[in-house]
Copies of this chain bind each other. A is one copy, B any other.
């Protein structure tokens, strides 16, 4: 991953414009867990109807992951964060693409790859909250 050397010095103002200032990467993570769980159930069940439903549901959940990631990227993180974490834009872009990849696959490894990237974002998020 990329360097976090400058993280402690982030001096972005508190996020205080509406909407509300409440952000939590848990929202993206929970939906991504749902994506991965759906992939696992897809693999464990060969019923055609079940599998069709799994694909419909995974499509929705992965779309929600993308939405929650986009909100964090656009609305929570500010210019000073991106200066302190020079790889942060790229991390979000890879996470978004991982969500699209998990949408397009029933391999739980793609769901796990998405969760791993969200975990990286989560770590940075909480660092910046403490800063």
The residue from B22, B24, B52, B57 contacting A19, defined by CB atoms under 8 A apart: B57
SS of A interface (majority): helix
Inter-chain CA distance A82–B105, complex, in Å, is 25
Binding-face segment, A2-10, A29-37, A121-129: A29-37
How many of chain A's residues have a CB under 8 angstroms from any CB in B?
46
Inter-chain CA distance A39–B82, complex, in Å, is 30
- A104–chain B nearest beta-carbon distance, Å: 6
With A52-B51, A53-B104: A30-B22 Cβ-Cβ less than 8 Å = yes
18 A-B pairs (CB sep. < 8 Å): A17-B100, A18-B57, A19-B34, A21-B41, A22-B34, A22-B37, A24-B26, A24-B30, A49-B105, A52-B52, A55-B56, A66-B70, A70-B70, A70-B74, A74-B96, A74-B100, A75-B96, A89-B90
